[in-house]
């Protein structure tokens, strides 16, 4: 089983009830939004989308929050079992 979450449902401002540590590797500040690419739990490929311009530097460790209601659960064969 795997758990997934969309990048726009990962919060930098404390909206969720679960807090995780994230290390940025690449930061794309586009003016109207910011994308962070980095590691969570020592696994690369984690993406965060923040609306607006957010100053984060490469390799900075930050706290992010998630809401259980935004999780997707996938079976072993990749089928979505449950979403929010």
Which residues does 30 contact at the CB level (< 8 Å), separation at least 6? none
At 21, is the pLDDT very low, low, confident or very high (cuts 50, 70, 90)? very high
Specify the pLDDT at position 83.
79
Which pLDDT value is given to residue 7? Answer: 95
Please give the pLDDT value at position 4: 93
- Looking at the chain, the whole-number percentage of residues with pLDDT higher than 90 is 79
Q: How many domains does the structure of the chain reveal? A: 1
- In our burial notation (b when 16+ CB lie closer than 10 A, e otherwise), range 49-66 reads ebeeebebeeeeebebeb
Q: What is the CATH classification number for the domain harbouring 8?
A: 2.40.50.140
pLDDT tens figures, 24-44: 999 999 989 999 999 999 999
For residue 67, the tally of other CB atoms under 10 A from its CB is: 15
What distance separates the 2 farthest-apart alpha carbons in the chain?
39
Rounded to an integer, the average pLDDT of 39-57 is 92
33: how many CB neighbours lie within 10 A of its CB? 14
pLDDT at 27: 95
Task: List the domain range (segments joined by +) for residue 79.
Answer: 2-83
């Amino acid at each position: 089983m795997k758990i997934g979450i969309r990048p726009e449902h990962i919060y930098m401002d404390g909206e969720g009830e679960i807090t995780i540590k994230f290390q940025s590797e690449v930061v794309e500040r586009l003016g109207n939004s910011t994308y962070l690419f980095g590691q969570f739990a020592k696994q690369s490929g984690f993406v965060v989308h923040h609306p607006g311009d957010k100053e984060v530097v490469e390799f900075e460790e930050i706290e992010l929050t998630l809401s259980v209601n935004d999780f997707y659960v996938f079976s072993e064969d990749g089928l979505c079992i449950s979403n929010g």
